[in-house]
Amino acid sequence: MKNKILNFFGHIKKRDDSELSQAFARIVLSPTVFLIISFLTFFAGYDYSVHTLFISGLHSIYSVFIFFNTLRHPGDYFIRRASNILVDIGAINLVIYFCDTSAIFLYPVMLWVIVGNGARFGIKYLYISLFVAVVFFGGATYFNKDWHDHPELSKSLVAGLVVLAIFYDSLIRKLHYLNATLNKRVRERTKELRHRLYHDSLTELKNRLALDHYMQKRKFFVLMLIDINNFKNYNEIYGVEIGNKILVEFANFLKSYFKGKPYEVFRAYGDGFAVIGGGKNLDISRYEREIANLLKVVSSLKIKIDIGKKREDIDIDITIGISLESDHALEKADMALNYAKSHKLSFIAYNQYIDTKKESENILYWMHEVKRAIANDDIVPVFQPIVDREGNVVKYESLIRLRRKKDGKSELVSPFFFLEIAFKTNLYKKLSIIMIKKTFEAMMEIKEDFSLNLSFYDISDKEVMKVLSENIVKYGVGHRLILEIVESENVEDYKYIKEFVKEFRKFGVRIAIDDFGSGFSNYSHILEIMPDILKIDGSLIKNIHESKNSYILVSSIVSLAKVLNIKTVAEFVHSKEVFEVAKSLGVDEFQGFYFSPPRLKEEIERICEESV
């Protein structure tokens, strides 16, 4: 109940309505006057007529009625204001008429009514209230016997009404002038703030907030997300100030281009603009022609920029992502935009085949899993044996796995699911360092040679290389260690790789080129590095018993390796047939599920113990 009452009065305060505030003041004052008169009549011994109680009580009821009427029907109504003036002043003077001069305490109340009407509603109501008060008060005092015996008092009080009204005239005029000026400034400031809230301060286009509101409240048929390609280059080359000028000029171009067309332009983010088409005049079948024409115009657009004393023409290149659905339109247009950029397209409309939402969810899931595994020590190495031509284990390759619980059971997850995501989310370095440390610890107990995979990212990272060199020195196992480097297509990478090979060969390690023969194979790089081992890619080995092309390629790789005195390892040996064919070609060593899947260190140790 208390909360309801507080909410009710809070609603009244929030209305900020002068008519309502006066009605509320009346509903408080009128019963107060009624109580005062009742007290003076029954307890203070004043000889007031019963009429005074009836009049003040009736006015209290009227006050309640007017309050709720004003609450339900807000507005400036002359009849209601005039009626209130007549009733308020009339009730006061009726009480004065039925009482003696002791009712003089109601005179200030009448002054409050006169000045209050003027202050709230204007000069007109000040003088209407004054006129009614002079007439009613003059009549009440003239016809009342007690007041008639004191004409000088009644005349003085009437004169006081007039003088007070004249005195307040200038104050009220000034008050209303200041109030009108203040309201005007508030309206202007509100308009300015609203404009700033919904408009971009740089380009004066409507901003992202305005775009969101537009999409929530209106129907539209097409949303185009326009992105300036490689905009950061402008900032880097010319500076942020020139970059801002380019944005302003391009925004002006879009406004001009779409002027008079059923489209609205917004600045969605830094160098991205949104164009929404909708309404009765939009022909949805025309949007592709519209976009094609826009791209054509932009291709010839030259934005003139003053750089110092020199004037340059800046060419603009854009990509457009389109959504033809109002449901999640911005998200879909953004997916289309990213797809268009990654596939070197000028524009594309969203469709279910380019929806990257599931991909994003997958990235977030595995990012969380990798972080959890790092925190809980669930990144573990497994070891796959590499055998010689007689099937004897000669070394182990260390491979990364992520351990997790699934359906109450522990399982090891292949890097196929999480390693690429680790690259994208800057978690890869942590995984590399963990693998290096754990592999060295494990191989101190497994007394065979072992190999580690290194990507170009590992080789180019000083911290990873420092951890690797420290562990080689710490455990003194350089002569047992093979570092497998994934073949690179980038010529620049080989500069780093050659330096890396030169540096780490000082520790006595051997170098292997992993996945050799996959995609791009540059034999000149092999000759420069002169690795100890070539690991022939599994895509060539797995079908070597069936594919003539694979057979020929593997045969040439093995022949080259023998001439250079480089050992070869066949990966992905999954059957006896593959093993026999690879062996017949002269491959030195073999790795694959035909011999053993990757196993945890504990399993390797148990197998070794059982074989003794």
Question: What is residue 593's predicted lDDT score, i.e. its pLDDT?
Answer: 93
- Beta pairing partners, 484: 453, 512
CB 516 within 8 A of CB 547: no
Share of the chain above pLDDT 70, in %: 91
List % helix, strand, coil for the chain (3-state, nearest 5). 60, 15, 25
DSSP notation for 399-441? EEEEEEEETTEEEEE-TTTTHHHHHHTT-HHHHHHHHHHHHHH
For domain 379-402+426-611, the CATH superfamily is EAL domain (3.20.20.450)
Rounded to two decimals, the pTM is 0.53
Domain with CATH 3.20.20.450 in the chain: 379-402+426-611
Give CATH 3.30.70.270 domain extents, the chain: 208-355
pLDDT at 3: 55
Q: Using one digit for the tens of pLDDT, what is the confidence trace for 236-276?
A: 788 888 889 999 999 999 999 999 888 899 999 989 999 98
Per-residue pLDDT for 100 more than 50? yes
C-alpha span between 59 and 92 (Å, rounded): 9
Residues 203 and 135: their CA atoms lie apart, in Å, by: 65
DSSP assignment, residue 1? Answer: -
Work out the burial of residue 95: count CB atoms within 10 Å of its CB; fewer than 13 is exposed, 13-18 middle, 19 or more buried.
buried
Ranking 26-35, 296-305, 359-368 by mean pLDDT, the lowest is: 26-35
Q: What is the pLDDT of residues 574-601, one digit of tens each?
A: 999 999 999 999 999 999 999 999 999 8
CATH code: domain 208-355 is 3.30.70.270
Query: Position of tokens 């996959």?
Result: 518
Res. 511: pLDDT tops 80: yes
The closest of 144, 170, 169 to 157, measured between CA atoms, is 144
In contact, 373 and 265? CB cutoff 8 Å: no
- Per mean pLDDT, which range of 24-28, 162-166, 351-355, 459-463 is the poorest? 351-355
In the predicted structure, residue 340 carries a pLDDT above the cut 60: yes
Q: Average pLDDT in the 164-190 region?
A: 81
Q: What is the pLDDT of residues 531-584, one digit of tens each?
A: 999 999 888 999 999 889 899 999 999 999 999 999 999 999 999 999 999 999
CB 224 within 8 A of CB 333: yes
Distance from C-alpha of 562 to C-alpha of 460, rounded to nearest angstrom: 31
- Mean of all residue pLDDT scores within the chain: 84
